[in-house]
Amino acid sequence: MEVVQRYIYSDTELDRTESEAIEALKENSQQPIPDPDRWLDEELERNILLTSLDTILDWARRSSLWPAICFPACCAFELIAANASRFDLSRFGMEILRASPRQADLMITAGTLTWKMAPQVKRIYDQMAEPKWVIAMGACGISGGIFRSSYNVVPGYNRIVPVDVYVPGCPPRPEALIHGIRMLQNKIAKEHTNIKLSPL
């Protein structure tokens, strides 16, 4: 098929817009976002009706965590290995990796995050429906790891998104990842829902 010359493009315009987004995000993400577990202390405030509702909701939520696809680098292969034949993540109700962030409620950040990639990760996170959780997998996900001193690496995912569970290792073994997921499930089990009952 003939290539129509008119459509040959290298979109410098788009490049420029994207670089602006990167620069802006880099500007705004110099401080880590605090981890979202302050509610753990507030347990006393729950009332009886809501706790049983919570139990059901939390049970449903933690038993079908669906991870979104966010596989920047090497750790991805331990995540896939955890999914594949031997470690079989489906035992915990999460064998389905969702390509669409809107169907996912867990983000496992398997790999080094670079500043160029950061806007995309933020966008994925923003598109995921609430409630949502994040597991930072690997040394790079926690702090930038071996690449921390590089000019293009974000020192930890918590600059971009709030992180619930950190799984250390470079890469973490699949067992470690599964342990991290179990910890997240325990955490979800303690979560309570803010449902405002309207007055009768």
Partner 1 sequence: MTVSLSAWDVANQIKEQFPDAVSEINDQAILVRSESLFEVAQYLKNRPELNFDYLNYISAVDYFDYFELVYQLISINHNHSLILKTRCYGRDNPTLPSLVSLWRGADFQEREIYDLIGITFKGHPNLKRIVLWDGFQGHPLRKDYL
Partner 2 sequence: MMAIKTEPFVLNIGPVHPSTHGVFRMRATLDGEVIVNLEPVFGYLHRGIEKLAEERTYTGIIPLTDRLDYLASMSNNLAYVLAVEKLAGISIPERAEYLRVIIAELQRIASHLIAVGAFLNDCGAFFTPFLYMFREREKIVDLFEMLSGQRLLYNYMRIGGFTQDIPDEFLPALDKFVKQMPSFIDEYDYLLKENEILLARAKGVGILPKELAINISASGPVLRASGVKWDIRKVDPYSIYDRFEFDIPTGTAGDCYDRYRVRVEEMRQSLRIIRQAMEQLPAGPIRSEVPHLVRPPAGEAYGHIEAPKGELGFYLVSDNSIAPYRCHIRAPSLLNLTALRDMMIGWKIQDAIIIFGSIDITMGEVDR
Residues forming the site for ligand SF4 (CB under 6 A): 73-75, 111-112, 138-140, 145-146, 170-171
Q: How far is the CB of 176 from ligand SF4 (least distance, A)?
A: 12
Rounded CA separation 111/76 (Å): 6
Binding to partner 2 by residue 105, rule CB under 8 A?
no
Distance CA 195, CA 56 (A): 14
Judged by beta carbon, residue 118 or residue 188, the one nearer ligand SF4 is 118
d(CA 104, CA 19): 28
In degrees and rounded to multiples of 5, residue 125 shows phi and psi of -60, -45
Radius of gyration of the CA atoms of the chain, in A: 20
Which stretches of the chain bind partner 1, using CB under 8 A? 10, 12, 15-16, 18-20, 22-23, 115-116, 151-152
Least CB distance from residue 14 to partner 1, whole Å? 10
| Least distance between ligand SF4 and beta carbon 141 (Å) | 7
Supply the minimum distance, in Å, between the C-beta of residue 18 and partner 1.
7
Note the helical H segments in 29-173: 48-63, 75-83, 118-127, 138-143
Among residues 83, 67, 194, which one has the least CA distance to residue 134? 67
Q: State the residues that interact with partner 2 by CB under 8 A.
A: 1, 3-4, 7-11, 14, 69-74, 76-78, 80-81, 84-86, 97, 99, 111-112, 114, 116-117, 120-121, 124, 146-147, 149-153, 170-171, 173
